[in-house]
Chain A
Amino acid sequence: MIEVEGLTKHYGNVLAVNNVSFRVEPGEILGFLGPNGAGKSTTMKILTCFMPANSGRATVAGFDVFTQSRKVREQVGYLPESVPLYTDMKVEEYLNYRVRLKGVPRSERKGRVGEAMERCMVTDRRNKLIGTLSKGYRQRVGLASTLVHNPPVLVLDEPTIGLDPNQIRQVRDLIRNLRGDHTVLLSTHILPEVEVVCTRALIINRGQVAANVPLGENRESLYTDARLRIEARGEAESLRRAIDAVPGASVETANSELDGVQRFLVRMAHDTREAVSSAVIRAGGTLRELRMEGNTLEDLFVKITTAEKEESAHAESAAPAAA
Protein backbone atom coordinates (compact mmCIF):
# COMPACT_ATOMS: atom_id res chain seq x y z
CA MET A 1 0.00 0.00 0.00
CA ILE A 2 2.93 2.26 0.71
CA GLU A 3 6.18 1.70 -1.11
CA VAL A 4 9.26 3.75 -0.44
CA GLU A 5 12.47 3.31 -2.35
CA GLY A 6 15.73 5.10 -1.72
CA LEU A 7 14.06 8.20 -0.37
CA THR A 8 16.46 11.04 0.42
CA LYS A 9 15.72 14.52 1.65
CA HIS A 10 18.00 17.25 2.89
CA TYR A 11 17.27 20.65 4.32
CA GLY A 12 20.20 22.73 3.19
CA ASN A 13 23.21 20.81 4.47
CA VAL A 14 21.29 18.72 6.94
CA LEU A 15 20.49 15.24 5.71
CA ALA A 16 17.09 14.45 7.19
CA VAL A 17 16.22 11.25 5.36
CA ASN A 18 18.98 9.14 3.91
CA ASN A 19 18.14 6.49 1.35
CA VAL A 20 15.15 5.06 3.17
CA SER A 21 13.27 2.11 1.71
CA PHE A 22 10.35 0.21 3.15
CA ARG A 23 6.95 -1.23 2.29
CA VAL A 24 3.67 -1.23 4.12
CA GLU A 25 1.27 -4.00 3.13
CA PRO A 26 -2.48 -3.34 2.90
CA GLY A 27 -4.17 -3.59 6.27
CA GLU A 28 -0.96 -3.29 8.18
CA ILE A 29 -0.40 -0.92 11.09
CA LEU A 30 3.23 0.04 10.91
CA GLY A 31 4.84 1.66 13.94
CA PHE A 32 7.31 4.29 12.90
CA LEU A 33 9.85 4.74 15.64
CA GLY A 34 12.98 6.71 16.18
CA PRO A 35 14.51 9.41 18.32
CA ASN A 36 13.53 13.03 17.75
CA GLY A 37 15.07 14.32 14.56
CA ALA A 38 15.48 10.86 13.09
CA GLY A 39 13.51 11.75 9.98
CA LYS A 40 10.10 10.28 10.83
CA SER A 41 8.11 13.44 10.34
CA THR A 42 10.01 14.34 7.20
CA THR A 43 9.27 10.94 5.69
CA MET A 44 5.62 11.36 6.55
CA LYS A 45 5.54 14.81 4.99
CA ILE A 46 6.97 13.40 1.80
CA LEU A 47 4.47 10.54 1.73
CA THR A 48 1.58 12.95 2.19
CA CYS A 49 2.89 15.21 -0.60
CA PHE A 50 3.55 18.17 1.68
CA MET A 51 7.12 18.34 0.45
CA PRO A 52 9.01 16.54 -2.27
CA ALA A 53 12.06 14.35 -1.72
CA ASN A 54 15.41 15.17 -3.25
CA SER A 55 15.71 11.70 -4.67
CA GLY A 56 14.08 8.32 -4.47
CA ARG A 57 10.60 7.15 -5.20
CA ALA A 58 7.48 6.66 -3.14
CA THR A 59 4.04 5.40 -4.03
CA VAL A 60 0.93 5.39 -1.90
CA ALA A 61 -2.02 3.20 -2.93
CA GLY A 62 -0.27 2.74 -6.26
CA PHE A 63 0.08 6.43 -7.03
CA ASP A 64 3.37 8.25 -7.19
CA VAL A 65 3.59 10.94 -4.49
CA PHE A 66 5.35 13.29 -6.82
CA THR A 67 3.66 12.92 -10.20
CA GLN A 68 0.19 11.90 -8.97
CA SER A 69 0.11 14.00 -5.85
CA ARG A 70 -3.59 14.78 -5.96
CA LYS A 71 -4.56 11.11 -6.33
CA VAL A 72 -2.35 10.29 -3.37
CA ARG A 73 -3.87 13.02 -1.26
CA GLU A 74 -7.34 11.66 -1.99
CA GLN A 75 -6.29 8.30 -0.56
CA VAL A 76 -4.52 9.54 2.53
CA GLY A 77 -5.62 10.94 5.85
CA TYR A 78 -2.75 12.80 7.45
CA LEU A 79 -2.52 14.08 11.01
CA PRO A 80 0.54 16.30 11.36
CA GLU A 81 2.49 16.30 14.60
CA SER A 82 1.37 19.77 15.66
CA VAL A 83 -2.33 18.96 15.05
CA PRO A 84 -3.05 22.21 13.24
CA LEU A 85 -6.66 23.36 13.52
CA TYR A 86 -8.59 26.53 12.79
CA THR A 87 -9.23 27.75 16.32
CA ASP A 88 -11.94 30.15 15.17
CA MET A 89 -14.17 27.37 13.85
CA LYS A 90 -16.58 25.11 15.67
CA VAL A 91 -15.88 21.39 15.75
CA GLU A 92 -18.66 20.26 13.43
CA GLU A 93 -18.19 23.25 11.15
CA TYR A 94 -14.51 22.41 10.81
CA LEU A 95 -15.23 18.78 9.99
CA ASN A 96 -17.84 19.86 7.45
CA TYR A 97 -15.22 22.05 5.83
CA ARG A 98 -12.60 19.32 5.75
CA VAL A 99 -14.99 16.71 4.39
CA ARG A 100 -15.80 19.04 1.49
CA LEU A 101 -12.13 19.63 0.76
CA LYS A 102 -11.61 15.88 0.71
CA GLY A 103 -14.19 15.64 -2.06
CA VAL A 104 -16.77 13.47 -0.29
CA PRO A 105 -20.09 13.60 -2.21
CA ARG A 106 -22.68 15.88 -0.67
CA SER A 107 -25.09 13.08 0.25
CA GLU A 108 -22.47 11.26 2.32
CA ARG A 109 -20.98 14.22 4.14
CA LYS A 110 -23.35 14.43 7.06
CA GLY A 111 -23.05 10.75 7.87
CA ARG A 112 -19.26 10.79 7.59
CA VAL A 113 -18.90 13.79 9.88
CA GLY A 114 -21.24 12.25 12.44
CA GLU A 115 -19.38 8.96 12.31
CA ALA A 116 -15.97 10.60 12.66
CA MET A 117 -17.14 12.63 15.66
CA GLU A 118 -18.58 9.51 17.22
CA ARG A 119 -15.43 7.44 16.65
CA CYS A 120 -13.18 10.13 18.05
CA MET A 121 -15.48 10.93 20.95
CA VAL A 122 -15.98 14.59 20.23
CA THR A 123 -19.74 14.59 19.55
CA ASP A 124 -20.43 16.25 22.89
CA ARG A 125 -18.36 19.28 21.85
CA ARG A 126 -19.65 19.57 18.28
CA ASN A 127 -20.82 23.17 18.73
CA LYS A 128 -17.83 24.41 20.69
CA LEU A 129 -15.14 26.64 19.23
CA ILE A 130 -12.00 24.61 18.67
CA GLY A 131 -9.97 27.35 20.36
CA THR A 132 -11.77 26.74 23.64
CA LEU A 133 -11.17 22.98 23.69
CA SER A 134 -8.64 21.16 25.85
CA LYS A 135 -5.56 19.57 24.33
CA GLY A 136 -7.13 16.12 24.44
CA TYR A 137 -10.23 17.24 22.58
CA ARG A 138 -8.22 19.13 19.98
CA GLN A 139 -6.12 16.06 19.40
CA ARG A 140 -9.24 14.02 18.80
CA VAL A 141 -10.81 16.67 16.58
CA GLY A 142 -7.61 16.49 14.53
CA LEU A 143 -7.93 12.73 14.39
CA ALA A 144 -11.59 13.02 13.38
CA SER A 145 -10.67 15.36 10.54
CA THR A 146 -8.09 12.82 9.40
CA LEU A 147 -10.60 9.95 9.38
CA VAL A 148 -13.58 11.89 8.12
CA HIS A 149 -13.41 10.73 4.51
CA ASN A 150 -12.62 7.16 5.51
CA PRO A 151 -9.30 7.06 3.65
CA PRO A 152 -7.64 3.72 2.89
CA VAL A 153 -4.28 5.03 4.11
CA LEU A 154 -3.69 6.91 7.35
CA VAL A 155 -0.49 8.70 8.27
CA LEU A 156 -0.55 9.69 11.93
CA ASP A 157 2.33 11.65 13.42
CA GLU A 158 2.30 11.08 17.18
CA PRO A 159 -1.47 10.94 17.55
CA THR A 160 -1.50 10.23 21.29
CA ILE A 161 0.82 13.00 22.39
CA GLY A 162 -0.74 15.21 25.03
CA LEU A 163 -3.54 12.83 25.91
CA ASP A 164 -4.22 11.48 29.37
CA PRO A 165 -3.88 7.72 29.97
CA ASN A 166 -7.59 7.05 29.45
CA GLN A 167 -7.68 8.97 26.22
CA ILE A 168 -4.51 7.26 25.06
CA ARG A 169 -6.25 3.94 25.57
CA GLN A 170 -9.30 5.10 23.67
CA VAL A 171 -7.27 6.38 20.74
CA ARG A 172 -5.23 3.20 20.78
CA ASP A 173 -8.39 1.11 20.57
CA LEU A 174 -9.59 3.32 17.78
CA ILE A 175 -6.40 2.78 15.81
CA ARG A 176 -6.45 -0.93 16.51
CA ASN A 177 -9.96 -1.09 15.08
CA LEU A 178 -8.65 0.37 11.85
CA ARG A 179 -6.52 -2.72 11.23
CA GLY A 180 -7.58 -4.67 8.20
CA ASP A 181 -9.67 -1.96 6.53
CA HIS A 182 -7.02 0.70 6.66
CA THR A 183 -3.30 0.85 6.22
CA VAL A 184 -1.76 2.93 8.96
CA LEU A 185 1.65 4.50 9.34
CA LEU A 186 1.91 5.57 12.94
CA SER A 187 4.75 7.41 14.58
CA THR A 188 5.05 7.54 18.33
CA HIS A 189 7.47 7.61 21.22
CA ILE A 190 5.34 5.39 23.40
CA LEU A 191 6.86 2.00 22.70
CA PRO A 192 4.43 -0.18 24.62
CA GLU A 193 1.76 1.42 22.47
CA VAL A 194 3.47 0.14 19.36
CA GLU A 195 3.68 -3.36 20.78
CA VAL A 196 -0.03 -3.34 21.48
CA VAL A 197 -1.29 -1.65 18.33
CA CYS A 198 1.12 -2.31 15.51
CA THR A 199 1.72 -5.34 13.34
CA ARG A 200 5.27 -4.26 12.62
CA ALA A 201 7.69 -1.59 13.73
CA LEU A 202 10.28 0.27 11.76
CA ILE A 203 13.04 1.94 13.72
CA ILE A 204 14.50 4.97 12.02
CA ASN A 205 17.73 6.45 13.23
CA ARG A 206 19.71 9.30 11.78
CA GLY A 207 17.68 9.31 8.59
CA GLN A 208 18.03 5.59 7.93
CA VAL A 209 16.04 2.45 8.57
CA ALA A 210 17.86 0.82 11.47
CA ALA A 211 15.54 -2.12 12.14
CA ASN A 212 12.42 -3.77 10.83
CA VAL A 213 10.74 -5.55 13.70
CA PRO A 214 7.76 -7.87 13.21
CA LEU A 215 5.31 -7.67 16.09
CA GLY A 216 2.14 -9.48 17.02
CA GLU A 217 2.05 -13.17 16.09
CA ASN A 218 5.35 -13.17 14.25
CA ARG A 219 7.57 -11.37 16.67
CA GLU A 220 10.10 -14.26 16.68
CA SER A 221 13.05 -12.13 15.62
CA LEU A 222 12.64 -10.08 18.74
CA TYR A 223 13.73 -13.11 20.78
CA THR A 224 17.31 -13.22 19.67
CA ASP A 225 18.40 -11.30 22.73
CA ALA A 226 15.76 -12.55 25.08
CA ARG A 227 16.51 -14.22 28.39
CA LEU A 228 14.23 -16.19 30.61
CA ARG A 229 14.51 -15.77 34.34
CA ILE A 230 13.17 -18.85 36.08
CA GLU A 231 12.54 -19.60 39.72
CA ALA A 232 11.58 -23.14 40.53
CA ARG A 233 11.72 -25.63 43.35
CA GLY A 234 13.10 -29.06 42.64
CA GLU A 235 16.27 -31.00 42.17
CA ALA A 236 18.85 -28.58 40.71
CA GLU A 237 20.64 -30.90 38.29
CA SER A 238 17.57 -32.53 36.79
CA LEU A 239 15.86 -29.19 36.34
CA ARG A 240 18.90 -27.87 34.57
CA ARG A 241 19.09 -30.84 32.25
CA ALA A 242 15.37 -30.64 31.49
CA ILE A 243 15.61 -26.96 30.52
CA ASP A 244 18.72 -27.47 28.44
CA ALA A 245 16.94 -30.27 26.57
CA VAL A 246 14.31 -27.84 25.27
CA PRO A 247 15.24 -26.92 21.70
CA GLY A 248 16.25 -23.28 21.50
CA ALA A 249 16.88 -22.87 25.21
CA SER A 250 20.21 -23.02 26.99
CA VAL A 251 20.97 -22.33 30.62
CA GLU A 252 23.46 -19.54 31.13
CA THR A 253 23.62 -19.39 34.90
CA ALA A 254 22.12 -21.55 37.60
CA ASN A 255 22.01 -20.77 41.29
CA SER A 256 20.83 -22.91 44.15
CA GLU A 257 19.60 -20.80 46.98
CA LEU A 258 19.54 -21.78 50.62
CA ASP A 259 15.76 -21.65 50.71
CA GLY A 260 15.67 -24.49 48.18
CA VAL A 261 14.72 -22.32 45.27
CA GLN A 262 16.63 -22.82 42.02
CA ARG A 263 17.24 -19.74 39.89
CA PHE A 264 18.12 -20.03 36.22
CA LEU A 265 18.92 -17.55 33.53
CA VAL A 266 18.10 -19.10 30.16
CA ARG A 267 19.06 -17.81 26.76
CA MET A 268 16.41 -18.28 24.10
CA ALA A 269 16.77 -18.62 20.36
CA HIS A 270 13.04 -18.17 19.94
CA ASP A 271 10.02 -18.04 22.17
CA THR A 272 10.37 -21.17 24.33
CA ARG A 273 8.40 -20.11 27.35
CA GLU A 274 5.69 -22.80 27.19
CA ALA A 275 8.18 -25.56 26.40
CA VAL A 276 10.45 -24.55 29.27
CA SER A 277 7.63 -24.37 31.79
CA SER A 278 6.32 -27.81 30.91
CA ALA A 279 9.88 -29.18 30.97
CA VAL A 280 10.29 -27.92 34.52
CA ILE A 281 7.05 -29.55 35.58
CA ARG A 282 7.94 -32.83 33.88
CA ALA A 283 11.26 -32.86 35.70
CA GLY A 284 9.30 -32.85 38.93
CA GLY A 285 9.80 -29.20 39.69
CA THR A 286 7.33 -26.54 40.72
CA LEU A 287 7.47 -23.26 38.92
CA ARG A 288 7.51 -20.07 41.01
CA GLU A 289 8.32 -17.54 38.40
CA LEU A 290 9.04 -17.32 34.68
CA ARG A 291 9.89 -13.94 33.29
CA MET A 292 11.19 -12.81 29.94
CA GLU A 293 13.78 -10.08 29.80
CA GLY A 294 15.53 -8.04 27.19
CA ASN A 295 13.11 -8.65 24.38
CA THR A 296 10.94 -5.59 24.54
CA LEU A 297 10.84 -3.12 21.74
CA GLU A 298 12.19 -0.61 24.17
CA ASP A 299 15.33 -2.66 24.73
CA LEU A 300 15.81 -2.97 21.03
CA PHE A 301 15.12 0.71 20.46
CA VAL A 302 17.63 1.77 23.08
CA LYS A 303 20.21 -0.68 21.76
CA ILE A 304 19.91 0.51 18.17
CA THR A 305 19.70 4.21 18.78
CA THR A 306 22.43 4.44 21.40
CA ALA A 307 24.83 2.06 19.65
CA GLU A 308 24.95 4.35 16.67
CA LYS A 309 25.32 7.38 18.83
CA GLU A 310 28.40 5.88 20.47
CA GLU A 311 29.73 5.00 17.08
CA SER A 312 29.32 8.55 15.85
CA ALA A 313 30.80 9.95 19.05
CA HIS A 314 33.74 7.68 18.32
CA ALA A 315 34.01 8.88 14.77
CA GLU A 316 33.83 12.50 15.86
CA SER A 317 36.55 12.12 18.47
CA ALA A 318 38.70 10.26 15.97
CA ALA A 319 38.34 12.86 13.26
CA PRO A 320 40.34 15.70 14.89
CA ALA A 321 43.07 13.22 15.75
CA ALA A 322 43.30 12.17 12.12
CA ALA A 323 43.47 15.79 11.04
Chain B
Amino acid sequence: MRKVPPLLQRELSAYFYSPIAYVVLVVLLAGTGFFFNAVIEWTREASIRHLLGYMQFIILLLTPLISMRLFSEEYRQGTIETLMTDPVSDWEVVLGKFLGAWTFYLFLLIPTFGFVFLLKQLGDPEMGPIWSGYIGLALMGTMFMAIGMFFSATTKNQIIAAILTIVSLLTLQLIGFATKLTDRWYASVCKYLSLQEHMESFEKGIIDSRDLVYYLSFAALFIFLTVRLVEGRKWK
Protein backbone atom coordinates (compact mmCIF):
# COMPACT_ATOMS: atom_id res chain seq x y z
CA MET B 1 0.00 0.00 0.00
CA ARG B 2 3.10 2.20 -0.15
CA LYS B 3 2.19 3.48 -3.61
CA VAL B 4 -1.26 4.73 -2.63
CA PRO B 5 -0.13 8.25 -1.59
CA PRO B 6 1.40 9.22 -4.95
CA LEU B 7 -1.63 7.83 -6.77
CA LEU B 8 -4.01 9.71 -4.47
CA GLN B 9 -2.03 12.89 -4.91
CA ARG B 10 -2.05 12.55 -8.67
CA GLU B 11 -5.85 12.07 -8.74
CA LEU B 12 -6.43 15.02 -6.47
CA SER B 13 -4.23 17.34 -8.49
CA ALA B 14 -5.94 16.17 -11.69
CA TYR B 15 -9.23 17.43 -10.25
CA PHE B 16 -7.90 20.85 -9.50
CA TYR B 17 -6.29 21.13 -12.93
CA SER B 18 -9.57 20.40 -14.66
CA PRO B 19 -12.40 22.88 -15.11
CA ILE B 20 -14.89 20.24 -13.97
CA ALA B 21 -13.84 20.79 -10.35
CA TYR B 22 -14.93 24.39 -10.47
CA VAL B 23 -18.17 23.64 -12.29
CA VAL B 24 -19.04 21.03 -9.66
CA LEU B 25 -18.17 23.41 -6.85
CA VAL B 26 -20.28 26.24 -8.27
CA VAL B 27 -23.29 24.01 -8.91
CA LEU B 28 -23.05 22.50 -5.42
CA LEU B 29 -22.85 25.91 -3.75
CA ALA B 30 -25.56 27.48 -5.90
CA GLY B 31 -27.91 24.52 -5.41
CA THR B 32 -27.27 24.31 -1.69
CA GLY B 33 -27.69 28.07 -1.41
CA PHE B 34 -31.01 27.97 -3.22
CA PHE B 35 -32.43 25.24 -0.99
CA PHE B 36 -30.86 26.77 2.12
CA ASN B 37 -32.82 29.93 1.42
CA ALA B 38 -36.02 28.07 0.59
CA VAL B 39 -35.85 25.82 3.64
CA ILE B 40 -35.16 28.68 6.03
CA GLU B 41 -38.04 30.69 4.58
CA TRP B 42 -40.32 27.77 4.98
CA THR B 43 -39.34 26.30 8.35
CA ARG B 44 -37.90 29.32 10.13
CA GLU B 45 -35.69 26.82 11.92
CA ALA B 46 -31.99 27.20 12.61
CA SER B 47 -30.93 23.73 11.47
CA ILE B 48 -29.71 22.00 8.34
CA ARG B 49 -31.91 19.02 8.99
CA HIS B 50 -34.22 19.68 6.06
CA LEU B 51 -31.44 20.97 3.89
CA LEU B 52 -29.44 17.72 4.02
CA GLY B 53 -31.90 15.78 1.87
CA TYR B 54 -31.58 18.38 -0.87
CA MET B 55 -27.80 18.42 -0.57
CA GLN B 56 -27.79 14.67 -0.86
CA PHE B 57 -29.73 14.89 -4.10
CA ILE B 58 -27.49 17.61 -5.56
CA ILE B 59 -24.45 15.53 -4.66
CA LEU B 60 -26.07 12.53 -6.30
CA LEU B 61 -26.42 14.48 -9.52
CA LEU B 62 -22.85 15.77 -9.33
CA THR B 63 -21.17 12.46 -8.41
CA PRO B 64 -20.75 11.22 -12.00
CA LEU B 65 -18.95 14.44 -12.91
CA ILE B 66 -16.40 13.65 -10.23
CA SER B 67 -16.07 9.91 -10.75
CA MET B 68 -16.45 9.44 -14.50
CA ARG B 69 -12.88 10.30 -15.40
CA LEU B 70 -11.19 8.01 -12.84
CA PHE B 71 -10.56 5.04 -15.14
CA SER B 72 -12.24 6.08 -18.41
CA GLU B 73 -9.70 8.84 -18.91
CA GLU B 74 -6.81 6.42 -18.37
CA TYR B 75 -8.27 4.01 -20.90
CA ARG B 76 -8.88 6.75 -23.45
CA GLN B 77 -5.45 8.36 -23.13
CA GLY B 78 -3.73 4.98 -22.97
CA THR B 79 -2.07 5.94 -19.68
CA ILE B 80 -3.55 2.78 -18.18
CA GLU B 81 -0.68 1.01 -19.94
CA THR B 82 2.07 2.90 -18.14
CA LEU B 83 0.09 2.80 -14.91
CA MET B 84 -0.42 -0.95 -14.91
CA THR B 85 3.14 -1.70 -16.00
CA ASP B 86 4.60 0.34 -13.17
CA PRO B 87 5.27 -1.71 -10.05
CA VAL B 88 1.92 -1.00 -8.41
CA SER B 89 -0.78 -3.49 -7.51
CA ASP B 90 -4.35 -3.32 -8.77
CA TRP B 91 -5.48 -2.67 -5.20
CA GLU B 92 -3.14 0.26 -4.86
CA VAL B 93 -4.36 1.77 -8.11
CA VAL B 94 -8.02 1.36 -7.20
CA LEU B 95 -7.61 2.61 -3.63
CA GLY B 96 -5.51 5.56 -4.80
CA LYS B 97 -8.20 6.59 -7.24
CA PHE B 98 -11.01 6.01 -4.80
CA LEU B 99 -9.33 8.01 -2.04
CA GLY B 100 -8.42 10.75 -4.51
CA ALA B 101 -12.04 11.14 -5.59
CA TRP B 102 -13.32 10.95 -2.04
CA THR B 103 -10.81 13.50 -0.76
CA PHE B 104 -11.85 15.83 -3.55
CA TYR B 105 -15.45 15.31 -2.55
CA LEU B 106 -14.62 16.24 1.05
CA PHE B 107 -12.92 19.40 -0.21
CA LEU B 108 -16.15 20.24 -2.04
CA LEU B 109 -18.12 20.04 1.21
CA ILE B 110 -15.88 22.53 3.01
CA PRO B 111 -17.28 25.70 1.37
CA THR B 112 -20.80 24.63 2.35
CA PHE B 113 -19.79 25.29 5.98
CA GLY B 114 -20.45 28.87 4.94
CA PHE B 115 -24.15 28.13 5.30
CA VAL B 116 -23.59 26.76 8.78
CA PHE B 117 -21.71 29.93 9.62
CA LEU B 118 -24.63 31.97 8.28
CA LEU B 119 -27.00 29.93 10.39
CA LYS B 120 -24.96 30.75 13.48
CA GLN B 121 -25.17 34.42 12.65
CA LEU B 122 -28.93 34.28 12.17
CA GLY B 123 -29.95 32.00 15.02
CA ASP B 124 -28.73 29.51 17.52
CA PRO B 125 -28.44 26.18 15.72
CA GLU B 126 -27.81 22.97 17.60
CA MET B 127 -24.39 21.85 16.36
CA GLY B 128 -24.72 18.12 17.11
CA PRO B 129 -27.07 17.26 14.25
CA ILE B 130 -25.05 19.49 11.94
CA TRP B 131 -21.85 17.56 12.62
CA SER B 132 -23.61 14.22 12.36
CA GLY B 133 -25.22 15.39 9.13
CA TYR B 134 -21.80 16.15 7.66
CA ILE B 135 -20.45 12.82 8.87
CA GLY B 136 -23.39 11.26 7.07
CA LEU B 137 -22.58 13.14 3.88
CA ALA B 138 -18.92 12.13 4.12
CA LEU B 139 -19.83 8.47 4.53
CA MET B 140 -22.37 8.65 1.74
CA GLY B 141 -19.54 10.00 -0.38
CA THR B 142 -17.55 6.77 0.01
CA MET B 143 -20.49 4.86 -1.41
CA PHE B 144 -21.15 7.30 -4.26
CA MET B 145 -17.49 7.54 -5.29
CA ALA B 146 -17.04 3.77 -5.20
CA ILE B 147 -20.09 3.22 -7.40
CA GLY B 148 -18.97 5.96 -9.79
CA MET B 149 -15.44 4.55 -9.94
CA PHE B 150 -16.78 1.10 -10.72
CA PHE B 151 -18.73 2.33 -13.74
CA SER B 152 -15.76 4.40 -14.85
CA ALA B 153 -13.72 1.21 -14.91
CA THR B 154 -16.23 -0.43 -17.25
CA THR B 155 -15.71 1.87 -20.23
CA LYS B 156 -13.36 4.33 -21.84
CA ASN B 157 -16.31 6.57 -22.61
CA GLN B 158 -16.80 9.04 -19.79
CA ILE B 159 -20.36 9.86 -20.83
CA ILE B 160 -21.40 6.23 -20.62
CA ALA B 161 -19.72 5.94 -17.23
CA ALA B 162 -21.60 9.01 -16.05
CA ILE B 163 -24.95 7.76 -17.29
CA LEU B 164 -24.54 4.34 -15.70
CA THR B 165 -23.57 5.98 -12.42
CA ILE B 166 -26.49 8.36 -12.34
CA VAL B 167 -28.97 5.65 -13.28
CA SER B 168 -27.71 3.42 -10.47
CA LEU B 169 -27.76 6.17 -7.90
CA LEU B 170 -31.21 7.38 -8.95
CA THR B 171 -32.47 3.83 -8.70
CA LEU B 172 -31.19 3.64 -5.13
CA GLN B 173 -32.76 7.02 -4.45
CA LEU B 174 -36.17 6.14 -5.87
CA ILE B 175 -36.35 2.53 -4.71
CA GLY B 176 -37.70 3.83 -1.40
CA PHE B 177 -40.98 4.68 -3.09
CA ALA B 178 -41.55 1.02 -3.74
CA THR B 179 -42.05 0.55 -0.02
CA LYS B 180 -45.01 2.89 -0.18
CA LEU B 181 -46.62 1.04 -3.06
CA THR B 182 -46.41 -2.50 -1.83
CA ASP B 183 -46.12 -4.57 1.31
CA ARG B 184 -44.75 -7.70 -0.33
CA TRP B 185 -41.60 -9.37 0.97
CA TYR B 186 -39.29 -7.20 -1.12
CA ALA B 187 -40.62 -4.00 0.40
CA SER B 188 -38.25 -4.39 3.32
CA VAL B 189 -35.33 -5.09 0.99
CA CYS B 190 -36.14 -1.95 -0.98
CA LYS B 191 -36.45 -0.04 2.23
CA TYR B 192 -33.03 -1.19 3.32
CA LEU B 193 -31.44 -0.33 -0.03
CA SER B 194 -33.06 3.07 -0.26
CA LEU B 195 -30.68 6.00 0.04
CA GLN B 196 -33.20 8.24 1.73
CA GLU B 197 -33.77 5.77 4.49
CA HIS B 198 -30.18 6.02 5.64
CA MET B 199 -29.70 9.76 5.71
CA GLU B 200 -32.54 10.28 8.14
CA SER B 201 -30.87 9.38 11.41
CA PHE B 202 -27.82 11.51 10.54
CA GLU B 203 -30.22 14.40 9.98
CA LYS B 204 -31.62 13.87 13.44
CA GLY B 205 -28.18 13.81 14.97
CA ILE B 206 -27.91 10.05 15.40
CA ILE B 207 -25.00 8.05 14.08
CA ASP B 208 -26.54 4.63 13.66
CA SER B 209 -24.27 1.65 13.02
CA ARG B 210 -26.80 0.28 10.54
CA ASP B 211 -26.29 3.32 8.35
CA LEU B 212 -22.54 3.09 8.72
CA VAL B 213 -22.71 -0.51 7.61
CA TYR B 214 -24.94 0.43 4.68
CA TYR B 215 -22.62 3.11 3.26
CA LEU B 216 -19.36 1.37 3.98
CA SER B 217 -20.46 -2.04 2.75
CA PHE B 218 -21.63 -0.49 -0.52
CA ALA B 219 -18.29 1.31 -0.80
CA ALA B 220 -16.32 -1.85 -0.01
CA LEU B 221 -18.35 -3.92 -2.45
CA PHE B 222 -17.81 -1.55 -5.34
CA ILE B 223 -14.13 -1.05 -4.54
CA PHE B 224 -13.76 -4.81 -4.61
CA LEU B 225 -15.72 -5.09 -7.86
CA THR B 226 -13.54 -2.40 -9.43
CA VAL B 227 -10.40 -4.33 -8.52
CA ARG B 228 -11.87 -7.45 -10.10
CA LEU B 229 -12.80 -5.50 -13.20
CA VAL B 230 -9.33 -3.99 -13.55
CA GLU B 231 -7.75 -7.41 -13.09
CA GLY B 232 -10.21 -8.94 -15.54
CA ARG B 233 -9.50 -6.45 -18.32
CA LYS B 234 -6.08 -8.00 -18.73
CA TRP B 235 -7.61 -11.27 -19.80
CA LYS B 236 -9.50 -9.90 -22.72
- CA A98 – CA B88 in complex, angstroms? 11
Quick check: A103 and B82 within 8 Å, CB to CB?
no
Quick check: B87 and A97 within 8 Å, CB to CB?
no
| Chain A binder among B6-14, B60-68, B120-128, B189-197 | B6-14
Q: A86-B14, A88-B14, A101-B3 are in contact. Are A50 and B87 (CB under 8 A)?
A: no
Quick check: A100 and B3 within 8 Å, CB to CB?
yes
Whether a CB of chain B sits under 8 angstroms from the CB of A306 is no
Identify which of B2, B81, B86, B235 contacts A98 (C-beta below 8 A): B86
Quick check: B6 and A80 within 8 Å, CB to CB?
no
Residues of B within 8 A of A76 (CB): 85
Q: A50-B234, A84-B82, A88-B17 are in contact. Are A101 and B77 (CB under 8 A)?
A: no
Identify which of B14, B88, B235, B236 contacts A101 (C-beta below 8 A): B88
Quick check: B81 and A74 within 8 Å, CB to CB?
no
Quick check: B85 and A78 within 8 Å, CB to CB?
yes
Residues of B within 8 A of A243 (CB): none
- CA A85 – CA B80 in complex, angstroms? 10
Interface size on B, residues (CB 8 A): 26
Whether a CB of chain B sits under 8 angstroms from the CB of A34 is no
- CA A48 – CA B10 in complex, angstroms? 23
Contact with A along B54-92 (1 / 0, CB 8 A): 000000000000000000000001111111111111000
Whether a CB of chain A sits under 8 angstroms from the CB of B18 is yes
Whether a CB of chain B sits under 8 angstroms from the CB of A132 is no
Quick check: B85 and A103 within 8 Å, CB to CB?
no
Q: A49, A86, A93, A145 — which one has the most chain B CB atoms within 10 A of its CB?
A: A86
Q: A50-B234, A52-B235, A101-B3 are in contact. Are A84 and B77 (CB under 8 A)?
A: yes
Residues of B within 8 A of A190 (CB): none
Quick check: A97 and B6 within 8 Å, CB to CB?
yes
A99 to B, closest residue via Cβ: B6
Quick check: B6 and A49 within 8 Å, CB to CB?
no
Residues of A within 8 A of B83 (CB): 101
120-166 of chain A: CB within 8 A of chain B: 145
Quick check: B84 and A50 within 8 Å, CB to CB?
yes
Residues of A within 8 A of B7 (CB): 101
- CA A70 – CA B7 in complex, angstroms? 17
Quick check: A103 and B17 within 8 Å, CB to CB?
no
73-105 of chain A: CB within 8 A of chain B: 73-74, 76, 78, 80, 82, 84-89, 93, 97-98, 100-103
CB distance from A105 to the nearest CB of B (A): 11
Quick check: A80 and B10 within 8 Å, CB to CB?
no
Identify which of A50, A86, A97 contacts B85 (C-beta below 8 A): A50
Whether a CB of chain B sits under 8 angstroms from the CB of A307 is no
Q: B17, B78, B86 — which one has the most chain A CB atoms within 10 A of its CB?
A: B86
B18 to A, closest residue via Cβ: A88
CB distance from A12 to the nearest CB of B (A): 9
Quick check: A100 and B87 within 8 Å, CB to CB?
no
Residues of B within 8 A of A101 (CB): 3, 6-7, 83, 86-88
Whether a CB of chain B sits under 8 angstroms from the CB of A51 is yes
Q: A97-B10, A101-B6 are in contact. Are A49 and B85 (CB under 8 A)?
A: yes
Residues of A within 8 A of B86 (CB): 73, 98, 101-102
Residues of A within 8 A of B18 (CB): 88
145-193 of chain A: CB within 8 A of chain B: 145
CB distance from A62 to the nearest CB of B (A): 16
Quick check: B3 and A84 within 8 Å, CB to CB?
no
Identify which of B9, B10, B79, B236 contacts A84 (C-beta below 8 A): B79
Q: A51-B234, A80-B81, A84-B78 are in contact. Are A103 and B87 (CB under 8 A)?
A: yes
Q: Please give the residue numbers on chain A whose beta carbons come within 8 Å of chain B beta carbons, in ascending order.
A: 11, 45, 48-52, 70, 73-74, 76, 78, 80, 82, 84-89, 93, 97-98, 100-103, 145
| Top-5 shortest CB links A-B | A84-B78, A100-B6, A73-B87, A84-B79, A88-B17
- 5 residue pairs bridging A and B, Cβ less than 8 Å apart: A73-B86, A80-B85, A84-B78, A85-B79, A89-B10
